[in-house]
A and B are shown apart, each in its own frame.
Chain A
Amino acid sequence: MTGRSQTVRRLGALMLSALFATSAGAAEIGRIKVAKGQVTVERKGEALPGAVGMRLEPADVLKTGADGSVGITMADNSLLSAGPNSILSLDRFEFDPTSNQGRFDAQLQKGSLAVISGRMAKQSPEAMTVRTPSAILGVRGTEFVLSADD
């Protein structure tokens, strides 16, 4: 690797980080706004306590205990809230706030979930899906609930 290409790479990284600094947050895709009882966020093999204000990242898995519930706001204004004994994974979230285009795939592995879809689903009917172990929901809009039994 030549010195020059290294410099170019560094410059590129710098420009990228500047871009992220001005966008709505690099890794942050949403936030916990409501948390009651036991709430855990599994991230890269770690179990973190899910507290109000926590920033969420792609592939996070939210789990609630028997007394737990959790409400989150996503970057595209989608609102998701899970009841007790639920497992909700945020499998994929890509959002361009300028064009409102992107992709949001969530999965309710078990439990109960209330959803108000956001700007992506409004922009494009193919942008958002919610899965359960047995079904795939294509979200045209806007407010719905679903459960997944054990």
Chain B
Amino acid sequence: MTRHLSRTLAIGALAALAAIVSSCQTGTVVLLPSADGKDAALIVKQRDGQTLLAEPYAATKLTTAGPRAYSANAQEVQALFGPALAAQPGRPVRFTVQFIEDKDELTEDSKVALEAIFAEIARRPVPDVLVVGHTDAVGSDQYNDALSRQRADVIRVGLIQNGIAPENIVAVGRGKRELLVPTADGIAEPRNRRVEIVVR
């Protein structure tokens, strides 16, 4: 009898313990407002279920019993994630400069703009730069691949002259494959004769 009771008690204690363990928190997830304000959502899956976070500050506690949705706020996020957010690298910035038809020479406007772009790049502590050259749809693929590569090289050389280490620059030519303004083949379009510079 006593033995039976102690066994019942032990089982009860175990069940209570299991209940505590089962609601143990194992983490937090918070969706933040996005800079571009579009298409922000997270699907949080745990063994016992899933929850969709689709509004700014929509949040969930991860528990061993599954996700528990709640609403967070900026203060809580700062308190929990301040150091992680403070370590966020600068966001990538994209610039575009334009070229004179059939040449690897910048337009006058773009020559001026380039100075500001180089200054912005030099401000970053460890910039790595992607330079992508493009052409308009006049001429063969082969010709435009070479021309777009030449245009990218003009920018690459300029970056090196402004103190960016060559190993931190990747320059590629995309020819006429990525027209900014879609045109039929053979059409001259100034806005397509460009180099995109992505700074990270």
- Say whether B84 contacts A83, CB under 8 Å: yes
Complex CA gap A70/B172 in Å reads 30
Complex CA gap A83/B79 in Å reads 12
A-B contact pairs, 9 of them (CB 8 A): A34-B89, A81-B87, A112-B80, A132-B26, A137-B29, A137-B45, A143-B33, A144-B42, A146-B29
User: Contacting B28 at CB < 8 Å: which of A136, A141, A143, A147?
Assistant: A147
- Say whether A114 contacts B200, CB under 8 Å: no
Interface residue? B32 (CB, 8 A): yes
- Label chain A's interface by main secondary structure: strand
- Say whether A135 contacts B200, CB under 8 Å: no
Interface 0/1 of B16-28, CB less than 8 Å to A: 0000000001111
Name A121's closest neighbour in chain B (CB-CB). B39
Complex CA gap A146/B39 in Å reads 19
Chain A residues within 8 Å of B, Cβ to Cβ: 22, 24-25, 31, 33-34, 36, 52-53, 69-73, 77, 79, 81-84, 86, 112-114, 116, 122, 132-149
Number of interface residues of B (CB under 8 A): 48
Interface residue? B186 (CB, 8 A): no
- Say whether B81 contacts A83, CB under 8 Å: yes
Chain B residues within 8 Å of A, Cβ to Cβ: 25-36, 38-47, 53, 62, 64, 67, 77, 80-92, 125-126, 128, 130, 170, 172, 198, 200
- Say whether B81 contacts A112, CB under 8 Å: yes
Name B168's closest neighbour in chain A (CB-CB). A53
Name A67's closest neighbour in chain B (CB-CB). B83
